[in-house]
Every structure is written in structure tokens, then in C-alpha cells.
Amino acid sequence: MFFRCKLNFCDSAGTVTVNPEIKVQLTPSDTTICAGKAVAFTANTVNFSTYSWQSKHHGNRSGGTSWLLNPVQTDTIRLQISNNGCSNSASSIVKVNANTLFVHTLRSCFGKSVVFRGDTIRNPGDYEFNLPNALGCDSTILLTVIFSNQLQQVVNASICNGQSYRFNNRDISAAGTYRDTLIASGGCDSVVVLNLEVKPLPQPSIVQNGAELSTQVFASYQWKLNNLDIPGAVSRTFMAQQTGSYRVRVSDNFNCSNLSEAFELNTVGLQGIGPNGFSFGLFPNPARDEIRLSGLPESCPIQVYDLMGKLHYSGKTSGQEPTILVQDFKDGVYVLVAEVAGQKIRKQFVITR
């Protein structure tokens, strides 16, 4: 290489001084490092007046025969040396290989262990493994180990006496605590605990008061005559209109149901007389669109039933001759019940058109 330097004329005799060539070399020359590592660049020549360093990513620096850098990406380092009007330069390329990072999660069941790269791990937590990658740089593996606890589900159930509950492929009818072990989606045990309660059945009984049949207080009722449901007879009391075998099916607040024993009703007084021979009038009979009452006290409770015991009207008297509209009633025989002084007086009437 040839360099152009300034000539120095020292005297009138024409003496010329030629400065020596500056040879510049950087150590290391082109090199490759791993990310996070430092590299020191050093000039092979010393005792010159000016050292100027340049870096694409680290800027410029003046002075010094070496420069310690921690590059994060590929860079070109250039050194220019000047002395007595002569100069020369050299450059070096440093390539930065990236470190690799892997994040991995291993799961297992409580009480078991996992094996990772030959290491047996029995405790949950975060683990770090550092290995050389294909480029010779660090390869970091961040491992999270999770041990799942045994899953447990508690089921509280109740059945009525005489029923059964399907659990663990069998029908259970006795109260108690039962367990079943399953395999959950993660492969760990899942335990189902069943607390089974058996509710007693309600025990309805029928009491007669004249033509009125009643039972205890329950959540729902269905009266039967000769083992057939009576339409609309779904109250605690039922006004019997004919003889026969009566039963009532009841359900309690736990939806447990039971049927009463049969109650044999042999006589039904259709034309009752109140206390002290009290009676009242009902006309016209047969009726078509309305019936009128007479002889009843003010605000006297009255109900109208058909012969199956279905309630069609309920209200109280108002005025001297209260009127009940029956134009929507079907043709047939009905019974009007009036309650006077705690006694129920009944009169039968017919609707025909």
C-alpha cells in the first residue's frame, strides 16, 4: 500500500524528509460474539499522535489504543491513526449472534414427579437451564413445573323415601356419604363426594266435616274419587257431592309425594239446614243466566260446586237479594254452599237452557 505524506524541506540545500508509512491493524479482525458479551479492539501500533475510533452504533471516540465495546448487533469498528501529516485506517466487522430463550411448562399430578433433560423434579416452581445453542451462544430454558392437586367435587342431593339416586353406575336408596374416583382431563384423580339425604314421605289423612273433606297442610293436593282424579280438586279441602271412595295425593316442599288411605263416604246431605233451623232461598231453580239468594246475612261466604266437587264460584253476599251470574256455567247440577254462624248450609240447583 502506498500513502501520500507531506514533504518537509528542512534547509536551503534541498534536504527532503519522508515520514515512514503508518501500518494499521485491528485485533481482533472480523469476529463473531454472543449477545451480552464484550469485545476489546486493540491497535497494533502505538506512539502515534492521533487515534480516532468510529462505530456505526456506538458513535465516535478519540484517543486510546483500544476500545472495549458491548455490541448488541452487528457493527463495523474503524480506527484511523494520524502522525506527522500521514494517516491510515483499518476496520473490523463484529457479528453478534443472539442468545435463545425458550419458555416451557410441565404439568403433573400432586405426589408425582417430572423428568426434564435427565433431571427429576418433585417440587413445583420455576427452573432455569442454560445450554449452548448451535451457534455456541447461551440457550436459556425457563421451565415452570405445576403439580395439580386432587380435584374434589361435592354433590349434595336428596331423594324421597322409596326413590333411588344413580351414582357410580349403581342405584342408591339409603342415606349416606359416597365417593367415586374419576380421571380428570389432566390425567389426575378427580373425586366426587355424594352426600345423599333421604326425605320421608308425607302422610296425609282425610277428615270429614259434613260434606267437606280436608287433609293436613302440604304444598300441593289432588283429590281422587274411586281412584280417578277429580278435575280442579287441588285444594286442601274438598266439598264432596256424591258418595264413594275418596283419596288425596299430596306433595311436600321437597316434592315428595304420597297417597292417603281411602276414605269411604257413604252419605252426603245435599239439603242441609243451619243452626236453629235456619235456611235460605235460591231462585229460580232451574236457572238459566243467574240465581238470586234470599235470607242470608250480609257478607256471608258462599261457594258453588259441581257434583265432581270442582269450585266454580266463591264470594260473599251483598244486599238483601244477592245475585250470582251463571251464564258461563255448563248445563248440569250444582251445589251452593253458604256459611252461616260457622255452619255450612247447602242447596242444590240446576242450570238448563
| Residue whose C-alpha is closest to residue 234's, from 245, 249, 256 | 249
- Per-residue model confidence (pLDDT) at position 11: 46
pLDDT recorded at residue 6:
44
Question: Is the pLDDT confidence value at 195 over 90?
Answer: yes
pTM for this one? 0.45
Q: What is the DSSP letter of 287?
A: B
- Give the per-residue pLDDT at 187: 67
pLDDT above 70 coverage of the chain, percent: 90
Give the residue-averaged pLDDT of 89-96.
91
Would you kindly state where each structural domain of the chain is located, as residue ranges?
16-97, 100-148, 151-199, 207-265, 275-351
pLDDT value at position 5?
A: 46
Rounded distance between C-alpha atoms, residue 58 and residue 63, angstroms = 15
Is residue 38 a contact partner of residue 22, using CB atoms and an 8 Å limit? no
CA-CA distance, 331 to 338, in Å (whole number)? 22
Could you tell me if residue 285 is left (phi over 0), alpha (psi between -120 and 50 degrees) or otherwise beta? beta
Backbone angles phi, psi at 276, to 5 degrees: 60, 30
Strands in 44-124 per DSSP E: 50-55, 59-62, 66-69, 75-83, 86-97, 100-109, 114-116, 119-121
**Residue 144, number of CB atoms within 10 A of its CB:** 13
For 146-163, what is each residue's pLDDT tens digit? 887 667 789 999 999 999
Three-class secondary structure of residue 276 per DSSP: helix
Q: How many CB atoms lie within 10 A of CB 33?
A: 18
The DSSP symbol for 337 reads E
All residues at 6 or more sequence positions from 157 whose CB lies less than 8 Å from its CB, including other chains: 165, 194, 195, 196, 197
Residue with the larger pLDDT of the pair 22 and 41: 41
Q: What is the pLDDT of residues 108-128, one digit of tens each?
A: 877 788 898 888 999 989 999
Give the pLDDT confidence of 272-323 residue by residue, as tens digits: 555 556 778 999 988 999 999 999 999 999 999 987 788 999 999 998 899 9
Is residue 208's pLDDT more than 70? Answer: yes
Q: Check residue 20 and give its pLDDT.
A: 76
16-97 and 275-351, same CATH topology? yes
Instruction: Kindly indicate the confidence band of residue 40, based on its pLDDT and cuts at 50, 70 and 90.
Output: very high
| CATH number assigned to the domain with residue range 16-97, chosen from the 4 options 2.30.300.10, 2.40.10.10, 2.60.40.10, 3.40.309.10 | 2.60.40.10
Residue 210: all three cell numbers together: 259434613
Q: How many helices (H) and strands (E) does the chain have?
A: 0, 35
8 A C-beta contact, residue 161 and residue 123: no
pLDDT at position 293, please? Answer: 94
CATH number for the segment(s) 275-351: 2.60.40.3080
Q: What letter represents residue 1's amino acid?
A: M
The average confidence (pLDDT) of the chain is 85
- Alpha carbon separation from 162 to 173, 258, 275 (Å, rounded): 7, 11, 48
pLDDT, tens digit, 9 for 90 and up, residues 66-79: 999 988 889 999 98
Grid coordinates representing 223 are 283429590
C-alpha cell belonging to residue 156: 349434595
For the chain, state the CA radius of gyration.
54
C-alpha–C-alpha distance, residues 286 and 353, integer Å: 9
Residues 157-177 as b/e (b if ≥16 CB within 10 A, e otherwise) read eebbeeeebebeeeebeeeee
Nine-digit cell at 290? 243467574
Quickly state the pLDDT bin for 251 (edges 50, 70, 90): very high
How far apart are the two ends of the chain, measured CA to CA in Å?
136
Q: Which residue in this structure is represented by grid cell 374416583? A: 181
